[in-house]
Structure 1
Amino acid sequence: MDVLSDAIAVMRTGRPHSSRTVNFTPWGIRFPPSKGAGFHVVLQGSAWLLPPDDSAPVRLGPGDVVLLAHGTGHGLADHPDTPLVDAVLSPDGSWPTPPVRGPVGPDETLLLCGAYRLSRARAHPLLTELPPYVHIPARVGAHPRLRAAVDLLGAELAEPQPGSDAIVPALLDTLLLYLLRTWWLAERADRSTGWSAALADPAVATALRALHGDPARAWTVEDLGALTGLSRAAFARRFTALVGRPPLAYLTWWRLTTAGRLLRTDLTLPLRTVAQRAGYSSEFAFAKAFKRAYGTAPGHYRRAAGASAGVGRLTPAGAVE
């Protein structure tokens, strides 16, 4: 399994959205805190990012991309001193601005902005270790796949065609993965610990793929060490140093995290099946572990997820009324 894709999928809680807007000088926008992650791309013109951590403003030129992975409030403006106006968002968090058509003038900035809904209840460390913002400057010939995703998304928003409603969310998912991949590839050269280093380490990456590919298997540290060509002790030390927790502790965390996703997204799946997929031989053992991790029983967690999604009450047989 692809660990990066897996980590994003388990946090996803709804459709992403995006907009393509033009801003006339002077302009300044204050984006409120959110539960998800967001990005901005300067397609034409320039802008200043007013970071969420109150650090110095960051100038953005054409083609620059900024990812804000933690949902913190921030500003975007034509100049650091321009007053900010609160962004007026739709109830779903989208920016209700029509697509921009026609050429953009010299005193205008064309932006491509987007947001993702993510659950932070059990956020994967792949995202939690990201800095307050990730700035990827435009460089000739650099990050061609990321640039291609930006171009495709911008084109779909500028000129919607049949199928755009399905294409745009897929492109947004693609763009997020390219943003994260670009950052981690750049970071791993300068880091000896953390997830950028973990994914670059052949032994640890092999073990992570195995754990994600078959979390229900009764893994042992010896099994994982043999799989990676290391002794039990050497593998355990390396995995713990890079991932931040021992192999079997990470496996337990991942099992219960994926179980929470199954309970949220498949309200008719029997609890015994969720338990089996999470690597537990009995519902009782699973329920005990789940309650210890989440503070509530699996059934209560599922009912709360169904209520928040507007789904009917679950019957004892597991069918939705």
Structure 2
Amino acid sequence: MDVVSDAISAVRVGRPSSDRMRVDGSWCVRFAPYDGAGFHVVLEGGCWLLPDGGPPVSLGAGDAVLLPHGTGHVIADSPADTGAVARAVPFESVRAAWRRTGPRGGDAGGTVEMLCGKYRLDRSRAHPLMAELPAVVHLPNRVGSHPELRSAIDLLGRELGGQRPGGGVAVPSLLDLLLVYMIRSWLTADGTEGSWPAVLGDPVAAAALRALHADPAAPWTNERLAAEAGVSRPTLARRFTALVGRPPMAYLTWWRLNLAAGLLRSTEDPLAAVARRVGYGTPYALSHAFSREFGTTPGRYRAREAAGAAPAG
């Protein structure tokens, strides 16, 4: 695994969902704040995104937009005017009608067709790369830009456009791929602000992160990691700490404990097995470090997470 794959995997829970919608005329719908990430892809026509607390964003055909922190927003046929946001109807109230409309033949001037969807995320274990994403990631459709993202959008649109054999497997997989490509496109776009594009673009920090994420349970030391990155120990410590925000071994400890939390939540492995998988020699050593990081013991954390995941009733 690499740092981007791990950052996404650490927060992704459940299955993503999406709908292919088609609408025309005058319209304005609201998407409530969501404990996850929302996205829209415009397949035809154009519309406006009006995020809570942010400026309007014009979306054209082929544009993709990710709201990685679940920001509430309005999608409308025109930019906001006095009272437009207040008049927006909940998306859930028009969802079925928009889906039933279906593709039309001939010239449907003013028609907007788009993919709307969301991902469930567990923010309690968010990697700083994910936390750094802006409230709105707008990826305009420009010739030659983001070819993988364009291909994923095209494939997803085709799958959602009809009942195809295997679609129940294909669509969730394509949605997961879409999330990866949107984040990758943000990381590599010109003018992207934030520390993590710089981290992943730095040969020393990136090499060290690749090594740690490839085998977090290995008996890493600063000397061994510096040799892996091809620099001296002081150089590694200086560049890694300046870019990532914490020293290499502190980052490794934090990441191991987040991996342990994920295993406690998703498996029934005994604590000794979890400790071995994340690089701790004994269950006691893991328990001590885990309690310091999370403020509770591994056993209580597992019980709490299991109770939270259990269906009501």
Name the counterpart of 1:61.
60
Amino acid in structure 2 at the alignment position of 1:132: A
User: Bigger CA drift: 295-304 or 177-186?
Assistant: 295-304
Following superposition, the deviation at residue 310 of structure 1 comes to: 2.6
Tell me, which stretches of 5 or more residues in structure 1 are unaligned?
90-94, 312-321
SS at match of 1:121: helix
Query: Residue 76 of structure 1 corresponds to which residue in structure 2?
Result: 75
Q: Which amino acid aligns with 1:19?
A: D
Match of 1:186 in 2: 189
Map 1:103-122 onto structure 2 (within 5 A). Answer: 103=105, 105-122=108-125
SS of the equivalent of 1:224 reads helix
| Distance (Å, rounded) in 1 between the aligned partners of 2:150 and 2:23 | 22
Partners of 1:48 and 1:152 lie apart in 2 by 24
Matching residue of 1:88: 92
Deviation at 1:142, TM superposition (A): 1.9
- Mark the CA change 1:190 to 1:84 in structure 2 (over 3 Å): closer, same or farther: closer
Corresponding position of 1:152: 155
DSSP-derived class of the 1:72 partner: coil
1:143 and 2:146 equivalent?
Answer: yes
> Which residue pairs with 1:92 in the alignment?
none
| Alpha-carbon distance, 1:87 to partner | 2.0
The answer as to whether partners of 1:264 and 1:305 remain within 8 angstroms in 2 is yes
- Which of 111, 114, 129 is the equivalent residue of 1:126? 129
Q: How does 1:231-250 map to 2 (within 5 A)?
A: 231-250=232-251
Residue equivalent to 1:9? 9
**Would you say 1:50 and 2:46 are equivalent positions?**
no
Name the amino acid aligned to 1:182.
S
**Secondary structure in 2 matching 1:76:** strand
Letter in 2 for 1:147: R
The amino acid of 2:290's aligned partner reads: F
Q: Aligned to 2:310, what secondary structure does the other structure show?
A: coil
CA deviation after TM superposition for structure 1 residue 102, in Å: 3.1
The normalised TM-score by structure 1 is: 0.89
CA contact (8 A) 1:20 1:112 kept: yes
Report the equivalent of 2:36: 36
Separation in structure 1 between the aligned mates of residue 169 and residue 308 of structure 2, nearest angstrom = 24
State the one-letter code of the partner of 1:247: P
For 2:272, the aligned partner's letter is R
Identity of aligned residues (%): 53
Instruction: State yes or no: 1:270 paired with 2:270.
Output: yes
**Is the CA contact 1:52–1:132 (under 8 Å) kept in the aligned structure 2?**
no
Q: CA deviation at 1:190?
A: 6.2
Q: Within 2, Cα distance between the matches of 1:74 and 1:201?
A: 35
Partner of residue 224, structure 1: 225
Structure holding more helix per residue: 2
The aligned residue for residue 285 of structure 2 is 285
- Spell out, residue by residue over 1:137-170, the C-alpha distance to the aligned partner (whole angstroms, 9 max, x if none): 1112322111110011111111121111111110
Count of residue pairs brought into register by the alignment: 304
Residue 261 of structure 1 is matched in structure 2 by 262
Query: In the TM superposition, what whole-angstrom CA distance separates every residue of 1:214-236 from its partner, at most 9, and x where no partner exists?
Result: 11122111111111111111111
What stretches of structure 2 of length at least 5 have no aligned partner? none
Aligned-partner SS, 2:124: coil
| CA deviation after TM superposition for structure 1 residue 295, in Å | 2.0
The 8 Å contact of residues 42 and 112 in structure 2, kept in 1 or not, is answered as yes
Instruction: Give how far 1:240 is off.
Output: 0.9
Corresponding position: 1:101 with 2:100:
no
Question: Given the superposition, is the C-alpha separation of residues 243 and 281 from structure 1 closer, same or farther in structure 2, using an over 3 Å criterion?
Answer: same
- Structure 2 distance, partners of 1:234, 1:254, is 22
Q: Tell whether the 8 Å contact from 2:10 to 2:125 is kept in structure 1 after alignment.
A: no
Contact 1:53 1:132 in 2 (8 A): no
Q: Distance in 2 between matches of 1:24 and 1:304?
A: 47
Aligned to 1:179, the other structure's residue is in SS state helix
TM-score (norm 2): 0.91
Counterpart of 1:314 in structure 2 is none
1:319 aligns with none
Label 1:75 to 1:236 Cα distance change in 2 as closer, same or farther (>3 A): same
Cα distance, 1:140–1:11 mapped onto 2, change above 3 Å? same
